[in-house]
Structure 1
């Protein structure tokens, strides 16, 4: 017994020592080197903020079973600093250190992608929208106000990850500097400053950048000494351009795309299985390291989905699901792409892969009724008087909805022009709907009818559908961003109502079911469960809005499609009664919802 106990202690302490063993990750001219030996990164990307914490380990195990040896992970700055100066690395799925530790537990290395800007189809590319409350701020450059916030962020994040670097016994082998900077700007001082900030905060593992495989993008986006990531690298020509940019560091495909993003009002993007198999075959044939963006997408819960725009009047908001047609689907199940890539990687590595983890439980919820409960007009907070309209951010609000109200003096009918409505707005005159305006396309004019009211009241209710996350139009303030004119006359003296639809607001709602509910109705209903499991709630009988389950914001829905079903994870459900709340822009009468097992 004494011998067994001694052996047991030796085994335990040996395990601890092994888990804390320091490793050396470095570069040769052409290869990544792990403890002095060439190492091929076979990485799969996933974002802890898009995955319920209870499923982190399952998703990491799924990536490992597909043949990956590394996990790449973005950290979204605005998810850990929602309020300026207040950092949260513990609540819900924000504990990045815990995520990295689970990767290590599962024998996976980590590529850490902390931004500060990340893109990722995430609201404002991960930057905190409080920056937009500064009227003339410039981002992703050496603007001192921007850099002051970045400096604090880097310090806070470094405290979380420093013990988890491979040089300290952790699994983090590389840290990315910014993201796809060559597609945005050419401030090399800024890129060098970001790298120096990490180094000054004790981040002593190698760095890399990631840019499209064009020479001008690589020239603007790379930093000296960092490995060159290509988004994506899939040909000899791509890697030749990287070598020309810096022949002394290795390059790799930092984002190889098995799927693609989807916007509202378009078809689901579904690249062919054959395309990704061809790309990965090339990378394996040439022993090139690569990262699959994404191996598992997850969900843009709440108001976290971003948007794209290539000109001033274009607006393409992203759907709530970030399924991405990835190898592991939104709910964590293996797809046809998963099996094809698993078989391909196994063929090259000639190793037996781990067993694919069992799928998580899923259930269907019987159809249940949603009845009108109250309307946004019954739930207005105190208004704030303002001479001119102001953006949402200048009002200290960064998501949700905002209402503008004024009395018409002088001009009282005619052509009403809103410059600019960001992003979706209802125009009401004396409490009656006149028209709806959508930012995309630049048609921001409404014909305001004549009124027999002496002092007509104009109200404009605006929805923030997600800050633009990529390109030259990322300075994307919400609400009404400039002014409102009526037949050329600028309208002044407004009352502005913040409607963030955050937890506090939703919990404060009171029933007004017998009042006149219109143009922004809240519906309430419930369903019962004997056991909790994942489900999708089918909102095809509703029109446009947001849904909460037991107080958790599942995200936006819109009947333009393609998404009609929103993912609800098991940890947000409970045995017994589950409360559902829906806000709908257009629906007025009772309807129903049912739970199904799949996104489509």
Structure 2
């Protein structure tokens, strides 16, 4: 087993330096796990690290999922077969730019729920999850002959809170269920982070940073002077938000920081080694004063690209590692083939408002309730009500819109209300929606998109949809019909031929294409504005013309020889119902 002797790690009686890379099994199709793990080992790393997202494994309370991309046991077995150690971070919260930091959305169904603290209702939910999850991990511990050498108690807790009773509870919850490997915490290297997030001196503290290793480790040594130095997250790249430029970090900078850490005798975990993809609706968001959703790609500009290709950064880092340890000569897997399939024409359409009965059942409610109270986790939610008239130049206000609302009056598009810019005061601003209601009244419809729950910081309690109410002027509107639209199954949709001219209304567009051989490809959506893409029923994720992501990655295992189905749920319309399947990614 892994233990600590002074400022060194010892594994089975021999000194070891942990050289690790983060691979998130839930961001990589299972068919590619082996390819990524082999490339990790060939880079000179001896360990793979992964988070465990609670919301993936318990999508509905009491209903668990450990199949397909959620088969964590198979991922760990595979790493062990390849001779890799495994670090597991199964804390209830993971951050990871993942939806709600990995917490399940159904926690927010209870208004009084308190997160990440010793609040008994929250702890009860954690216990029920750990009863199932940890039972699967115990046989895989190194103390039982498996590859897992260490586990994390909580994740960067010092940047959120200081409830040591909570940290102790999670620790004991793990130990009480048979977790007897090395436990640790990981935090930023400020005083407040290390004071709030650690269980010193009994539990190993590790720290996370991307630069200034002397400063970071110096601060860690102030709190933990006689244990191994560990950078649990070496940020050798970074993630992207919609509407911002793609983050790039030069290899030379990464190499210099890594070389210094290895000179200091530190153990290092690359965050990330391979980023992967936020498939479906699993991207997170940040809000430290402004709401910013994360893009579908989790490329992260690291050692492997989003599609698993070796980068210049990989080569440069392997050279540095080879100065400090012997890099095993492993024949690298061949690059995964990329295919240019050309244009695909989407020839059929189904308008959302004509298809509601095929997708969902109406819910009648006095007030416009948020998603979570209606048992919905992700996707869209539609609110509809009748408004009396006449009313002239009256401002529409939503309290609060989470996160982006499309407004229709009698089916005619009126505009968008967004979380960051919406002013709920009665004063009319340039970006507000002002309505004229005719004498006979009108039907008001509001389609709200959940763009990803906040995954980090003090605003994490982030219910979606309309959280309080809708006003015209100062008057609240009541008596709503609500349609939940998680879009997890589109099989019931009925399509018609695409019309040359269509009103601006949310529409599903469908096309088919034939291939002789499956290969990785990238969906380019020039002329499309915003929406969600599905390939053969699998939710690839969101697209948005504001960038920086210009293509969606389609791994070959999602395709099939012969006929393939592509469906786009487009919110705003497009110039031409054609897309391109090309053989390279585009991030700007």
How far apart in 1 are the matches of 2:177 and 2:61?
21
Residue 399 of structure 2 corresponds to residue 423 of structure 1: no
Residue 132 of structure 2 corresponds to residue 159 of structure 1: no
Which position in structure 2 is the counterpart of 1:401? 380
How far apart in 2 are the matches of 1:174 and 1:469?
24
Which position in structure 2 is the counterpart of 1:206? 182
Q: Specify the SS of the correspondent of 1:45.
A: strand
Q: Specify the SS of the correspondent of 1:149.
A: helix
Residues 209-248 of structure 1: per-residue CA shift (max 9 Å, x gap): 1100112211100114221111127423322322222335
Which position in structure 2 is the counterpart of 1:74? 51
Residue 65 of structure 2 corresponds to residue 88 of structure 1: yes
How far apart in 1 are the matches of 2:417 and 2:242?
16
So what's the TM-score if we normalise by structure 1? Answer: 0.93
Matching of residues 192-591 of structure 1 within 5 Å: 192-224=168-200, 225-232=202-209, 234-311=212-289, 314-380=290-356, 381-409=360-388, 412-413=391-392, 414-443=394-423, 446-503=432-489, 506-513=490-497, 518-587=504-573, 590-591=576-577
Instruction: Please report how far the alpha carbon of residue 512 of structure 1 lies from its aligned counterpart in structure 2 after TM superposition.
Output: 4.1
How far apart in 2 are the matches of 1:372 and 1:394?
34
Residue 10 of structure 2 corresponds to residue 28 of structure 1: no
Q: Which of 101, 116, 123 is equivalent to 1:140?
A: 116
Which position in structure 1 is the counterpart of 2:427? none
Q: Specify the SS of the correspondent of 1:231.
A: strand
Q: Specify the SS of the correspondent of 1:348.
A: coil
How far apart in 2 are the matches of 1:565 and 1:447?
32
How well do the aligned residues superpose, as a CA RMSD in angstroms? 1.6
Instruction: Please report how far the alpha carbon of residue 588 of structure 1 lies from its aligned counterpart in structure 2 after TM superposition.
Output: 5.2
CA distance change for structure 1 residues 407 and 282 in 2, over 3 Å: closer, same or farther?
Answer: same
Higher strand share: 2
Which residues of structure 1 form unaligned runs of 5+?
1-23
How far apart in 2 are the matches of 1:389 and 1:351?
59
How far apart in 2 are the matches of 1:410 and 1:31?
75
Which piece of structure 1 moves more, 341-350 or 448-457?
448-457
CA distance change for structure 1 residues 514 and 217 in 2, over 3 Å: closer, same or farther?
Answer: closer
Which residues of structure 2 form unaligned runs of 5+?
425-430
How far apart in 2 are the matches of 1:83 and 1:485?
32
CA distance change for structure 1 residues 110 and 431 in 2, over 3 Å: closer, same or farther?
Answer: same
Q: Specify the SS of the correspondent of 2:346.
A: strand
How far apart in 2 are the matches of 1:511 and 1:191?
52
Q: Specify the SS of the correspondent of 2:342.
A: coil
How far apart in 2 are the matches of 1:195 and 1:405?
47
Which position in structure 2 is the counterpart of 1:40? 17
So what's the TM-score if we normalise by structure 2? Answer: 0.95
Instruction: Please report how far the alpha carbon of residue 518 of structure 1 lies from its aligned counterpart in structure 2 after TM superposition.
Output: 3.7
Instruction: Please report how far the alpha carbon of residue 453 of structure 1 lies from its aligned counterpart in structure 2 after TM superposition.
Output: 4.7
- Asked if structure 2 preserves the Cα contact closer than 8 Å seen for 1:545 and 1:582, the reply is yes
- Asked if structure 1 preserves the Cα contact closer than 8 Å seen for 2:379 and 2:486, the reply is yes
- Asked if structure 2 preserves the Cα contact closer than 8 Å seen for 1:45 and 1:291, the reply is yes
Q: Specify the SS of the correspondent of 2:406.
A: strand
How far apart in 2 are the matches of 1:531 and 1:418?
49
How far apart in 1 are the matches of 2:514 and 2:443?
44
Instruction: Please report how far the alpha carbon of residue 128 of structure 1 lies from its aligned counterpart in structure 2 after TM superposition.
Output: 0.4
Which piece of structure 1 moves more, 241-250 or 470-479?
241-250
Instruction: Please report how far the alpha carbon of residue 508 of structure 1 lies from its aligned counterpart in structure 2 after TM superposition.
Output: 1.0
How far apart in 2 are the matches of 1:243 and 1:103?
32
Which position in structure 1 is the counterpart of 2:85? 109
Q: How many residues align?
A: 572
Which position in structure 1 is the counterpart of 2:428? none
Matching of residues 10-21 of structure 1 within 5 Å: none
Instruction: Please report how far the alpha carbon of residue 599 of structure 1 lies from its aligned counterpart in structure 2 after TM superposition.
Output: 1.4
Q: Specify the SS of the correspondent of 2:91.
A: coil
- Asked if structure 1 preserves the Cα contact closer than 8 Å seen for 2:237 and 2:272, the reply is yes
Q: Specify the SS of the correspondent of 1:293.
A: strand
Q: Specify the SS of the correspondent of 1:415.
A: strand
How far apart in 2 are the matches of 1:248 and 1:167?
25
Instruction: Please report how far the alpha carbon of residue 184 of structure 1 lies from its aligned counterpart in structure 2 after TM superposition.
Output: 0.4
Q: Specify the SS of the correspondent of 1:507.
A: coil
Instruction: Please report how far the alpha carbon of residue 37 of structure 1 lies from its aligned counterpart in structure 2 after TM superposition.
Output: 2.5
CA distance change for structure 1 residues 514 and 59 in 2, over 3 Å: closer, same or farther?
Answer: closer
Which position in structure 1 is the counterpart of 2:583? 597
Instruction: Please report how far the alpha carbon of residue 251 of structure 1 lies from its aligned counterpart in structure 2 after TM superposition.
Output: 3.2
